[in-house]
Structures are given as structure tokens and as C-alpha cells.
Chains A and B, each alone.
Chain A
Amino acid sequence: MIIELGHFAVVTALVLSLLGIAAPILGLWTKNADWIRVGRQSVTLIFVLLGLGIAALEYSYLTRDFSVAYVASTSNSKLPLFYTIAALWGGHEGSLLLWVFILSAFSTVAVWLHWRTQPTIMPYLIAVESSVMFGFLMLIVFLSSPFERIFPAPIEGKDLNPLLQDPAMTMHPPMLYMGYVGFSIPFAFAMAALFSGRLGEEWIKVTQRWTIFAWLCLTVGIMMGGYWAYYELGWGGYWGWDPVENASFMPWLVGTAFLHSVMVQEKRKMFKVWNLFLIIVTFSLSLIGTFLVRSGVLTSVHTFATDPERGLYILIFLAVVMGTAFGTLIARAQKLKSRVELDSIVSRESVFMFNNLFFLVAAATVFLGTLYPLMIETWKGSKVTVGPPYYNAVFMPIALGLLFLMGVGPYIAWRKASLDNIKKNFLIPLIVALGTTALAFALGFRSPFTIAGAFVVGFVTTTIATDIGKVSAFFARRDRVNYLRGFVSAFRNNQRRYAGTVTHIGVLVFVVGVIASTVYQTEKVVSLHTGDEFTMGPYRLTLAEIHDVQGPNWTAKEGRFELYRGDRLLTEMRPQKRIYDASQTPTTESAIYAINMGHVFLTMPEVSPDGTATARGVINPLILWVWGGGGIMGLGVLLNMFRPRKRDE
């Protein structure tokens, strides 16, 4: 009964989405604001109805109603409460419902928030968001409904995939979807500008706020996925260049390009059409990501159950959205073209353009690598694998180039950088960079990534540090306080700029962490009996005992290892080999110990009946810089979003 009510609510939402498209169009045609209001009510009501749909589904989960097919396939009665709630987005149908629910929530917020300040955009915002919601709701209602019943109802559900029974994994999809959906708002603004032929000052400001929020969500979502892969999948890595990982990375890359390029539009009123192009590409990539995961075109860790019919529908939806968006861009771009005034190639505008070039080439590279197997199969009938060795070889140089630009952009002048300006800002960093490179070489590092990385990291660290130093000194002198207070004043004086600096520092920390933990990871796999030990670098691990452990819905063999450095006992480590009761799926649970900002990472992939354990130990140097860097990136965004608004903002 409840589930049918939920189903009814979602079907009503589908009908309302049509109204959400028609009403604003009518309003524009008849120049009657009441129709736009109808559109606003539709969007709000859709949010409420989808909320009811989700509530009905959660009710079925909590009451263990296995007559609902989706509930039966993603949970069972022993599943802990937390995972039972999260199981709603553990499968294809429910996760789609979550996607469109988040879309409706963001749309409602955007419509109410900008109602008074963005009257020209409003009808287009409502119509575009309603169109996207329509597309998703059609898919859900007709081809992917989580509300189907199953007769006869099974006594016990199957189970939530054990790999998903994990806190990071439960938060990863909602975060990711918030990122994808977040970009739909600037996308709708862009379509508004194209349809209406107007692109005002206000457009920039609202676009930037939503973009940076979406960027934050997407970044955190991707990081969570990486973190989960790291400790749950048990191979000590956090990014496999899996097709669906790539599908989330591509909109991130183009979204970051957009985020930067829009700053030029804000400052110099240039590149308007280019920015419209970028946001259309960003949102298109979000939708393409949805296509790739759910259509069966690519095989991946993430792919949901494949179904060509669903795939065909999503492809048609994709074609309609992209066709309309790019078509309108081609048709209307002339109206919005801005005059480009550039005094010199050596200028910040120019660096921003190269930033865009590198980001787009990066996205194109990931795109090419992901689709190349499909291309070759279609063209030649044979199959190839495009795996991590390819991406590491091809992507890293581009990433280092971007990193270098990150050290130039904020510190080069707008319009025209004088030779003096160049010398003052970049001569010393270049010298330091040569120094760090020589140092890396002298310390014995030979990997080209490390050497190139040493150069770039040396350069960027110096430009950032010099800037912070100079400005802190200036404010310290002016206010006659110490350096630290000087920095705080500088920060407050231009919070937006220095929040950005914080994010850039986060990127730097992240990249160093990635190079260290990828290039210098060491691994050892041994077979042990109780009492045996093995060494790994400066550490020693002893297997003290193997015993059985019982969980709420699993049993495990746990190995109790002791980690020593020299003679000092650092900690106990308890990796497990688990079997989940319902599905009899085995998982390896890893044991992690943080030391020197790196990890000692231990798993026990096999335990034989006679008590021989296979232990796999990995040392990941500086891996905490990977997660820490991500955290600092997020902190920078928060400092930006929650800055005190100056009078002119």
C-alpha cells in the first residue's frame, strides 16, 4: 500500500514536470508572470512528491517488506539499520530516484533563492530543470521502477552488496550526484542566456556560486570513492582508471576549467560564448557518465545490471539534451559574443586560456582512453585493454603541466605582464625549482615523474609562499603586528583570493601524495604460519594468531599481527577474510596503520584450513597527503563560499 502511494507520487511528479516545462514557456509567450509562478509551484511540488516516493521506499526497507522487488534485491533482515537506509541507492533503480530527487531539491532551492533577483533567467531555469527531471522520471517510471512488487514475496531478501556495506561507500553516491546535479544549475543559466539572448552581470555571480558548490561536492564524492576503494578493495590503491571512475573524472576536469575561465569573464567580460560551451560540455559529461554506468556499453567495477533497452532510452535522452544545448549554442552564439581585448600573450588571461587547454586535453585523454576499446571493437572487431599503465604515462605529464600553470596564473598580471613583473615573481621560484630538481636527483630519485614533479612542486611552492610572505609582510608592517596577524589581515582583506590559494595548496599536497604513494609503493606477499614473521622496509610483522570473528551479518577469519619497528611494538593489526552470510560473498578487510604520514597496509587474502595464512603487506609513503590534500582543497572552497560578502558582491 505504502509503496503504491510512493509510486503514485513519482508518477504525479512526472506529469508535473511536463507542466514545469509548459508553464514557463506559456508565461514567456503571454508575458504573464502567473504562469511562471505555476512553474515554480510545479518544481516545488515535484520535490515534495519525490520526497514522498523516497520516504515510501525507505518505509519498505525499514519494515523489511520483501514483496517490493528492489527492497528484496538490495537488503535482508540481518542488514544493519544504517545500511538498510543507504541500500535505497545501492542498486540502479533506487539510485536513479535519488539522482532525480537531489535534482528536484537543488532546482527548488535555486528557483526560490533567485526568484526576486533573476527574473529574466527564471522561466528558462524552471523549464530546463523540469526537462531534465522529465527525462529521468520517464526512465524511472517506465523502465527502471523501484516500486515493482514481486509475487510470491520472498521470505528473505538477498543482501546489499557487501562491498557497499561501508560508511564511505554509502556517502559516495549522494555526494557524487550532488556534484552532477549541482552543475545542472549553471547549465540551466547558460541555456537561459542562450534562449533569451541576454547575459548580464548577475549571471556571473550566481553561476560562480553554484559552480563552486557543485565542484566541492564532486571533488568530495570522487575522493570518497577513492578512499573506499583504498581500504575496502584491499589492493592498496585508490584509483584504477576504471571506465566509471573516469566518467566522474571527466566532468570534474571540464568543470574545473569552467570554474577558472569564468573568472576571466567576471574580470574582463570576455570569453562568454566559450564559457557557455564549457558548461554545456560539463553537464553533458555528467549525463554521459550516467549513460556509461547504466547501459552495458562498458564493463566496470561499477556497472549496474545492463539492459540495452534502458541504454537506448538514456542514449536518446542524451542526444536530445546535447543536441538542443549545442544546437542552441551554435545558433545563438553570435548574439552573446564579447569583444576580446588582449594586450599581450604574456598575461593572466592567456594563462587562463592555457589552463583551459590543458584541462580539456586532460579530459579528452581520459575520454579517448575510456572509449578506445569500444572504438577498436567497432572498427576492427578486436579488443584491447586501456589500463593504468596507459593513463599514468599519458596523463601525468599533462597534470604536471597544469600544476605548473597553477604556479603562474595567480601571480602574473592581468592584461600585460611586464618583464619586471615576470622577473620579480618567477625568477626566484625557477631557481628554487632547479634546486629541488637537483636535490631530488642527488637523493637518488630517478623516476621521470619524480624529477619533473620535484621541479614543478618546487616552483609552485615558492610562488605561493612568496606571495603569502609578501602580503603578510605588507599587512604586518601596515598594522604594526606580527607576520601571522599580518597574514590573517591579508586573508580577510581578500578572502576570495586566499581561499583559492588554500585550494591550490591542497592540490599541491595532493599531487605530492599521489606521486609518492604511486611511484614508491612497496609490496610483499608471503605465506605464514602462526609465530612466523616477515620484514617490510624498516618494519617487521609477526603473525600472533588466527581466530574466528562474528559480525552482525558475516563471519570472518581474523589474523592478529604485531607490527614492530626494530624492537618497538608499534601496534596490532587485524586484517580479516570475511564471508557475508546471506550471499556467501567473501571480502578482504584491510588493516591500516598510519606512520610518518604514510600507511602500513595489511591484508590477509587467503587462510588455508591448515592454518597457513597469506599476508600481503604494502607501504604507501605519504598517502595521508592524498586524503589531506583533498581535505585542504575542500577547506579552501568552504572558506570561499562562506566569506563575508563585501558591499559590491
Chain B
Amino acid sequence: MLTRLLVVLAVLGALASPAVATTVDETDIDIKTREVAKTLRCTVCQTENVWESGSPFARQVRENIRERVEQGQSAEEIRAYFLSRYGDYILMQPPARGVNWLVWIGPFAVLIVGGFLLYRTLNRWVTSTPAAPQTVEPLDEASRRRIERELHS
């Protein structure tokens, strides 16, 4: 009798308590860890960063970054540490120093030089093209509009 009463009370108790939905969110440490992790390359993956990758190496690096963030290290300090251990490869882009300026400035240099050379070539062509005859009869509206359209298609 007593056990049955206890069971009924327990069931009523469970039904009566409101469903508690816990709202979870990212902490500042989560966010900072992600920011740093996105800038380090997963060395055993193909051009993935340590945040994206699912490999065990990436996971350990993320945990290591998290510990350092918790200890209060700045993003620069954490990156500098990994850089000192793994070399430039661990960054997601070539650091802008030394010979690497070739790859950073190269495209723009080629664009500018190419643009200049192209401009010079175009100029050369324009000056070597005989000028069109100057005497031109005035056109009527319909013809003018039709010519405009042809030129624009």
C-alpha cells in the first residue's frame, strides 16, 4: 500500500515539474579559441585549418589553444608559439617577409606592369591606324538610331 502510494507520488511529482530547457552558449574562451584555431594549419590535412579539421592532431591543437587562452595568452602569443615549433607551414598563408613578397605583391605587380604594357600597345595601334575620313553627311534620325544600335550589340 505504502509503496503504491510512493509510486503515485513520484509519478505525479515528475509530471508536475516543468521541463527545464537549458540554454547553452559559447563562452568568450570558445570564441577566442575558434579565432586562433582558424589561423593555424592542420599539418596532417590538406589545406584545412585546425578549426575545420576533424583529425586527432587538430583536436589536440584546439585543446592546447584553449588551455593557452584560459591561461590568458594572446592570439599573437599562441600563434608565435606554434610558429616557433612548426615553422611557416603552420600559418594559413605565407608570412609577408623575405622572399614571400613575391607571392603577395607579384599579382598586383603583374597587373600594373601588364596594364602599362597593354596601354602602350593599344596606343601604338591607335597611332598606326589611319584616321577615318572627315567629311561625313549628316544622318537622318532613323539611320542614326539604327547605327547606334548596331554599334552597341
Residues on A with beta carbons closer than 8 Å to the beta carbon of B123: 345
| Shortest Cβ distance from residue A366 to the other chain B in the assembled complex, whole angstroms | 9
Residue of B nearest to A390 (CB): B93
B103 touches A240 (CB 8 A): no
B152 at the interface (CB under 8 A from A): yes
Q: Are B46 and A605 in contact (CB under 8 A)?
A: no
Q: A393 CA to B96 CA in the complex, in Å? A: 13
Q: A299 at interface (Cβ–Cβ under 8 A)?
A: yes
Bound complex: CA A361 to CA B21 (Å): 55
Within 8 A of B (CB), among A230-250: 235, 240-243
Could you say which of B3-11, B68-76, B114-122, B133-141 contacts chain A? B114-122
A94-102, A450-458, A529-537: which lies at the B interface?
A529-537
CB <8 Å contact, A385 and B47: yes
* A380 at the binding interface (Cβ < 8 Å): yes
Residues of chain A lying within 8 A (CB to CB) of residue B20: 531
Query: Within the complex, which residue of A300, A342, A526 is in contact with B25, where a contact is CB–CB below 8 Å?
Result: A526
- Measured between alpha carbons, how far is A364 from B106 in the docked complex, in Å? 10
- Tell me which residues from 127 to 153 in chain B have a Cβ below 8 Å from any Cβ of chain A: 128-129, 131-132, 151-153
Query: B48 near A240 (CB under 8 angstroms)?
Result: yes
Shortest CB–CB separation between residue B149 and chain A, in angstroms?
8
A580 CB-CB contact with B under 8 Å: no
A residues near B92, Cβ cutoff 8 Å: 385, 387-390
Chain A, interface size: which category?
A: 35 or more
Interface 1/0s, chain B 98-127, versus A by CB < 8 A? 011011101110110011001100110110
Q: Is A322 an interface residue (CB 8 A)?
A: no
Q: By the criterion CB–CB under 8 Å, are A364 and B89 in contact?
A: no
Which residues on the B side are within 8 Å of A345 (C-beta)?
119, 122-123, 126
With the chains together, A303 CA to B46 CA distance in Å? Answer: 10
Q: How far is the CB of B142 from chain A (nearest CB, A)?
A: 11
CB contacts under 8 Å to B, within A299-335, are 299-301, 303
The residue on A at minimum CB distance from B122 is A345
| B25-A542 in contact (CB<8A) | no
Q: Which among B23, B107, B123 has the highest number of chain A CB atoms within 10 Å?
A: B107
B114 engages A361 (CB within 8 Å): yes
Complex: A397 Cα to B111 Cα, angstroms: 11
Q: Is A528 among interface residues, defined by CB-CB distance under 8 A?
A: yes
**Bound-state Cα–Cα, A523 to B37, Å:** 14
B93 near A368 with CB under 8 A, answer: no
A20-28, A67-75, A349-357, A622-630 - interface stretch: A349-357
A361 touches B107 (CB 8 A): yes
CB distance from B104 to the nearest CB of A (A): 7
- Which residues of the partner chain A approach B34 to less than 8 Å between Cβ atoms? 523, 525
B29 within 8 A of A: no
Task: Check if A532 sits within 8 Å of B107, measured CB to CB.
Answer: no
B100: which A residues are within 8 A, CB to CB? 384
A394 interfacial contact with B, CB 8 Å: yes
Given known contacts A353-B118, A385-B93, is B46 in contact with A531 (CB within 8 Å)? Answer: no
Q: In the complex, what residues of A have CB within 8 A of residue B90's CB?
A: 385
A519 vs B50: C-alpha distance when bound (angstroms): 20
Q: Is B84 an interface residue (CB 8 A)?
A: no
Inter-chain CA distance A361–B116, complex, in Å, is 13
Interchain CB contact under 8 A, A413 and B122: no
A80: min CB distance to chain B, Å: 25
Closest residue to A615 on the B side, CB-wise? B24
One digit per residue, 1 when the CB lies within 8 angstroms of any chain B CB and 0 when it does not, for chain A 396-419 equals: 011000000000001101110000
- Flag if A414 contacts B129 (CB, 8 Å): no
Cβ contact within 8 Å between B24 and A533: yes
Q: In the bound complex, how far is the Cα of B18 from the Cα of A531, in angstroms?
A: 12
Q: Is A394's CB under 8 angstroms from B25's CB?
A: no
**Can you name the residue of chain A whose Cβ is closest to the Cβ of B53?**
A235
Distance between Cα atoms of A397 and B94 in the complex (Å): 19
Known contacts A357-B111, A384-B89, A398-B111; decide if A525 and B129 are in contact (CB<8 Å).
Answer: no
A354 and B111 CA atoms in complex are apart in Å by 10
By CB atoms of chain B within 10 A, which of A387, A533, A535, A586 has the most? A387
Given contacts A368-B103, A525-B34, contact A357 B115 (CB under 8 A): yes
B63 to chain A: which residues have CB within 8 Å?
none
A342 touching B125, Cβ below 8 Å: yes
Whether B107 and A394, one on each chain, are in contact in the complex, defined by CB atoms closer than 8 angstroms, is: yes
Q: Which residue of A lies closest to B121 (CB)?
A: A353
A383-B89, A390-B94 known; A531+B48 contact, CB < 8 A: no
Report chain B residues within 8 Å CB of A360. Answer: 114
B115 to chain A, nearest CB (A): 6
Any B CB within 8 A of the CB of A144: no
B23 and A525 contacting across the interface, CB-CB below 8 Å: no
8 cross-chain pairs, A with B, having the tightest CB-CB distances, nearest first: A387-B92, A390-B93, A365-B107, A342-B125, A383-B89, A384-B94, A389-B93, A413-B151
Report which B residues bind A (CB closer than 8 A): 19-26, 30, 34, 39, 41, 46-49, 52, 54, 87-95, 99-100, 102-104, 106-108, 110-111, 114-115, 118-119, 122-123, 125-126, 128-129, 131-132, 151-153
10 A-B pairs besides A368-B107, A531-B21 with CB distance below 8 A are A342-B126, A361-B107, A376-B99, A384-B91, A385-B94, A394-B104, A415-B151, A525-B30, A527-B24, A535-B25
Q: List 23 A-B contacts (CB under 8 A).
A: A299-B46, A340-B128, A341-B125, A343-B126, A343-B132, A345-B123, A353-B122, A354-B115, A357-B111, A358-B111, A365-B106, A383-B88, A384-B100, A390-B92, A393-B93, A398-B107, A413-B151, A415-B151, A526-B24, A528-B24, A534-B24, A535-B23, A586-B54
